[in-house]
Amino acid sequence: MSRVVVTGLGAITPIGINIEQYWEGLKSGTSGSDWITHFDAEKFKTRFACEIKGYDPKDYFDRKEARKLDLYAQYAMIAADQAVKDSGIDLEKIDKDESGVIWASGIGGIQTFLNEISGFVTGGKIPRFSPFFIPKMISDIAAGHISIKYGFEGPNYATVSACASSTHAIIDAFNLIKLGKAKLFITGGSEASINEAGVGGFNSMQAMSTNNDEYKTASRPMDLNRDGFVMGEGGGSLILEDYDHALARGAKIYGEVVGTGMTADAHHITAPHPEGIGAYKVMKKALDESGLSVNDIDYINVHGTATPLGDISETRAIVNLFGEHAYNMNISATKSMTGHLLGAAGAIEAIATILAMNNSIVPPTINLFNPDPEIDPGLNLTVNKAQDKEIKNSISNTFGFGGHNASIVIKKI
């Protein structure tokens, strides 16, 4: 079966709007959290988020094109374009039938949905909806737009599994290349849910931090005083490619995806299994497929949302699976910097993991002031400052509401 490598990266995130800026933000421990500007959040329990700074669609799209794209799809197009350019793909030479797009979003065009329904409610007795309402809202449309732009006629669809969505997209692309169904994929995910419905909905679940007094440091994975995640927005894209195909065109290779895991907690719609059984199993499945042992892993980019239950269950799973080696690895939660990009989290965190491997630097878990005593104190959580480390093999974890767990093992070549 084919080997699968990563040959291109693209990202638009709250701490950097391209790969270079994103990496600078990661290694310097930059917080992307600030007051919400997308809407008036004064009456909301949470008034801060990790927004893309200074974003203007006119910098990327003409007015006519932007009107047809929800913000989540705009972020998708930007990240995908960066990855395609970074990969050096010659679009005139590759086989478009063997090139596909698998793109994820946990929620899709929620801003479009909110705008259209609000307009209907306040617009009087005659229903008036934009002809772009449905095409802008649906979660699969970003994959469609990307395939149209590049003419990719291979497999094309979306994955939706809450916060595990874009890791599932990467896994699907990996599997289809392994099976010989395609040679190359644009994959990843995007999300744009910082609006009244997104913030209000997560507030009502008590899933999101309400620490308005310390908004800049409110994303606190593993900290005793964490009180939920900080919402982020943006997108991340990876080019996954058949190894021989990449060699034949002289592509640069960032790393190889060697193992994947997918499990379900089958426990609760929002809470993780308290013993981290699903997290344990998903990492074990990914390791088993990779052919590596627990002692081969140097770094884990954890899901690490800063929710009270999630951080404990994930670290418990790591200790249970890795045993004594758990204390030799580096662990970090980059959501402490970017916030939680929901369906796009897996993509930008896989990218963070790959950049860490290629630069031999582990990005930190910032805002970790008072470690939770329920979390094993022997773990190296890469506290508040990046650490130099040679990373040969790494894991990126993502878990979603509904009990969805996804994990990938990435190897440096």
Residue 340 bears catalytic tag: yes
Residue 267 bears catalytic tag: no
Residue of 236, 230, 166 whose CA lies nearest to 199? 230
Q: Can you give the pLDDT at residue 275?
A: 87
**CA distance readout (Å), 250 to 86, 158, 174, 245:** 13, 29, 20, 9
Token pair 């705008």 is at which residue?
115
Catalytic residue among 38, 168, 273, 340: 340
CB 246 within 8 A of CB 89: no
Mean pLDDT for 201-216 is 97
The DSSP line for 51-65 is PPTT--GGGTS-HHH
Show the tokens assigned to 386. Answer: 């990046």
Catalytic residue among 38, 168, 303, 404: 303
Residue 325 bears catalytic tag: no
pLDDT tens per residue across span 30-69: 999 999 999 999 999 999 999 999 999 999 999 999 999 9
Q: Can you give the pLDDT at residue 274?
A: 85
Mean pLDDT for 301-325 is 97
End-to-end alpha carbon distance in the chain: 18
The pLDDT confidence band at residue 125, using thresholds 50, 70 and 90, is confident
Catalytic residue among 163, 168, 245, 273: 163
Residue of 293, 292, 312 whose CA lies nearest to 302? 312
